[in-house]
Amino acid sequence: MSLRPYLTAFGLQWKIGLRYRIAVVAGLVAQMWFGAVTLMAYASVYHAAPDVQAPLSLRQAMTYTWIQQSLFTLLPLGCLPAIGDAARTGAIVYDLLRPVDMWNWWLSASLARLLGNAVPRAVLLACVAGPLAMLVGLGAWSLAGPASLISATLALVSIALGALLSATIVMWWNILTARTLSPLGSYAVGTPLAVLLSGMLLPLPLYPDWIRPFLLAQPFAGITDIPIRIYLGTPIPGGVATGLGLQVFWLAALTLLGRLWMRQTVNRLEVQGA
Amino acid sequence: MTQSPSRTLSGPGLYRRMAGASILAQLRYPGTFVIQAIGNFVTTLLSFFGIWSLFHRFGSIAGWDIGTVAVLYGLVNVAFAVAETLGRGFEVFGGEYVRTGSFDRLLLRPRSTLLLLLGHELRLRPIGRFLQGLFVLAAGLWLAPHVQWSAVLVLPWAIAGGAAMFLGVLIGQAALCFITVEGLEVVNVLTYGGVEAGQYPLTMFGRWLRRFITFVLPLAAVCYYPTLFSLAHPDPLGMPTWIGALSPVAGFAFLGVMILAWNRAVAGYVSSGS
């Protein structure tokens, strides 16, 4: 089996993600704005209740928010746009005809699309929210460094797993799109789920205590929440191993079930168009 | 060729005709409409769950009770939903009218370009945001202490002012398209970012942001002050409460300024050709 077709699919989508430089700058401004509004809100909530022992300190909540903002485009918000178009026009049959494993083919494209969007934005925002904010005297609002060198290394491993997990969830949206022949459903379902369950809306550790175990155990936590917790060194029940274990578990489970679902969908796929 | 007067539609008549056609077109795909509206409802409702979780953990939102915050939240969401419903034509203006050159055709018609663009689409999807905003608003009025009877008048007035303000932002965004051709996503900072900032009490923000959302974008005038007035809540920043009964007029003033800017921009329009 040659890896080359998958690398080509990856390279193509990666370049598409990098091409829109103005969109990257526009996204940066939007993320700074949302980051600033959220940070000020958290700061005044924390300051108004100084004796509440929250699972995250204010400084940690701020760092959490910045990393979350910078990784926004890594979230599985919907299907891969190219597959949405292909499903609508009927061009999806070409993908079926290719002598490649379709799961890996789509997965490499989805992963590249996520990374091509997220990596430049994340690096830019990390520079602005980290060193640059320190320099202009906003150190108290900036992105704090990792808890230790070990946690930084483990967080890198974890974020790589998180990206792969996100691409696997995008695969589920892709199959949904192939099934319903429209990308709209995947966005309608994917965006709210991803925004809430990944911790984009509110850091997962800050939700009410009774719901926190469920929030940690669901697959979306593995995309950004677990890597950020490892980075911050906040305790995860059972330690870092639980975090990484959950990521690997969801990766395996979603891949196996997804492949099954894909086979079933492809077998009964009805294509529109002539 | 003579035309009987009854065949010539007045401005409002024409708008009714266009809006009716747009609604019928959207109801052609009832499944898509229902899914999108539900997705919209759930997404926006979940974002209130985030605020509620903060309240739950810290006992207050920076000293504000949940009722007041819910009223603010409901107000800004309902106002934005109304503007989103009406202003779709301005949102897509760059891509669909300026880039393609089809704005030239609108200029040939003997009606105001603003009216024709308002008639581009009366979008039904924001009904999800609208309903959940009303729902949270009602819950807030139920929970908040000292709700005034005058709220019956002031809140609809504030919603109208807020809708006018957000519509003004969309018109301003469209006017910018004459320079930038494609729509600028940075303007989302004022629309979606405005909703994000408007749902928290003004006191939670730093001075630069407070000034921005009071004097540049009159967000505080259409949300914060009318809410204080309706709930007889004294302003911690020292403004008299009665100001909230008058301040929504600032939303209409903002819309007026944006319409002037629009007319200037149209006067200087040069077609991109085709």
What average pLDDT does the structure give for chain B?
86
Q: Which residues on A lie below 8 Å from B35 (Cβ)?
A: 184-185, 188
Name the burial class of residue A228, with classes exposed (0-12), middle (13-18) and buried (19+) by CB atoms within 10 angstroms of its CB: buried
**Alpha carbons B138 and B142: distance in angstroms, whole number:** 6
Contact A26 B203 (CB under 8 A): no
Q: Contact A230/A155 with Cβ under 8 angstroms?
A: yes
* Matching residue, tokens 């489970």: A253
Distance from CA of A242 to the nearest CA of B (A): 25
Q: What percent of chain B has pLDDT over 70?
A: 94
pLDDT at A203: 92
d(CA A238, CA A225) in angstroms, rounded, equals 16
* pLDDT grade for B6, boundaries at 50, 70 and 90: low
Give me the pLDDT at residue B183, please: 61
Q: Is the dihedral of CA A178, A184, A187, A190 positive or negative?
A: negative
Tell me phi and psi for residue A160, to 5 degrees: -65, -45
Amino acid identity at A201: L
CB within 8 Å: B46 and A201 = yes
Residue B216 CB contacts under 8 Å (≥ 6 apart), including other chains: none
What count of residues does chain B have? 274
**Given an 8 Å threshold on Cβ–Cβ distance, is B193 in contact with A33?**
yes
Smallest CA-to-CA distance from A201 within B48, B71, B141 is with B48
Residue whose C-alpha is closest to residue B95's, from B150, B177, B39, B30: B177
Please name every residue paired with B64 in a beta bridge, in sequence order, or none if there are none. Answer: B61
Strand partners, B61: B64
Greater confidence, B27 or A216?
A: A216
pLDDT at residue A226, rounded to an integer: 94
Model's pTM, two decimal places? 0.85
Amino acid identity of B103? Answer: F
For B260, residues 6+ apart whose C-beta sits below 8 A from its C-beta are: none
Q: Would you say A200 and A66 are in contact if contact means Cβ atoms under 8 Å apart?
A: no
A184-197 and A149-180 helices cross at what angle (nearest 10)?
160
Per-residue pLDDT of chain A (274 residues; tens, 9 = 90+): 678 888 888 888 777 767 767 777 877 888 888 888 899 999 999 988 888 888 889 999 999 999 998 898 899 998 988 888 888 787 888 888 888 888 988 999 899 989 988 888 888 888 888 888 888 777 778 888 888 899 999 999 999 999 999 999 999 999 988 888 778 778 878 888 898 899 888 999 999 999 999 999 999 999 999 999 999 988 888 888 999 999 999 999 999 999 999 988 888 776 655 4
Kindly report, residue by residue over B211-255, the tens digit of the pLDDT: 999 999 999 999 999 999 999 888 888 888 888 889 999 999 999
**By three-state DSSP, how is residue B61 classified?**
strand
Alpha-carbon gap, residue B12 to B16, rounded angstroms: 6
Tell me the nearest-neighbour CA distance from B194 into chain A, angstroms: 10
Q: With 0-12 CB in 10 A as exposed, 13-18 as middle and 19+ as buried, what is A156?
A: middle
Contact A29 B189 (CB under 8 A): yes
Does B204 contact A40 at a Cβ distance shorter than 8 Å?
yes
**Cβ of B199 under 8 Å from any chain A Cβ?**
no
Q: Is B236 on the interface with A (CB under 8 A)?
A: no
Q: A30 to chain B: which residues are within 8 Å by CB? A: 185-186, 188-189, 193
Residue keyed to tokens 């209409």: B252
Q: Where are the alpha helices (DSSP H) in B28-99?
A: 30-58, 66-86, 88-91, 93
Contacts of B43 in chain A (CB under 8 A): 191-192, 195
d(C-alpha B47, C-alpha B52), whole Å: 9
Instruction: Tell me, yes or no, if B58 comes closer than 8 A to chain A by beta carbon.
Output: yes
Residues of chain A with C-beta less than 8 angstroms from the C-beta of B50:
196, 201-202
Q: Yes or no: say if A105 and A6 are a contact pair by the CB < 8 Å rule.
A: yes
* Structure tokens given for B50: 């985030």
| pLDDT attached to residue A139 | 74
CB contact at 8 A, A110 and A140: no
Q: How many residues does chain A have?
A: 274
> For residues B268 and B178, what is the distance between their CA atoms, to the nearest angstrom?
9
Judge: B59–A46 Cβ closer than 8 Å, yes or no.
no
Using the predicted structure, report yes or no on whether residue B1 has a pLDDT greater than 50. no
pLDDT computed for residue B12 by the predictor = 85
**Does the beta-carbon distance from A40 to B47 stay under 8 Å?**
no
What was the pLDDT predicted at B63? 81
* pLDDT at residue B220, rounded to an integer: 92
* Cβ contact, residue pair B58, A48, below 8 Å: yes
Q: What is the mean pLDDT of residues B150-174?
A: 92
| pLDDT: which is higher, A229 or B37 | A229
Interface with B, mutate which of A22, A33, A34, A38 (most B CBs under 10 A): A33
Report the distance separating Cα A274 and Cα A90, nearest Å.
8
* DSSP of A227-242: HHHHHHT---TT-HHH
**For A49, which of B39, B60, B204 is closest by C-beta distance?**
B60
DSSP string, B182-211: SPPGGGHHHHHHHHHHHTS-GGGS-HHHHH
Among chain A residues, the shortest Cα distance to B198 is held by A37
Task: HSE, CB side, 13 Å, CA atoms: give it for residue A192.
Answer: 21
Is the pLDDT assigned to residue B64 strictly greater than 50? yes
Alpha-carbon distance A210 to nearest alpha carbon in chain B (angstroms): 11
Nearest CA in chain A to B51: A202
Write out the two tokens for B215. 């004097």
| C-alpha of B228 from chain center | 20
Structure tokens at A222: 């593995």
pLDDT of residue A6: 82
Q: Is B237 part of the contact surface with chain A (CB cutoff 8 Å)?
A: no
Look at residue A124 in the predicted model and tell me its pLDDT.
Answer: 87
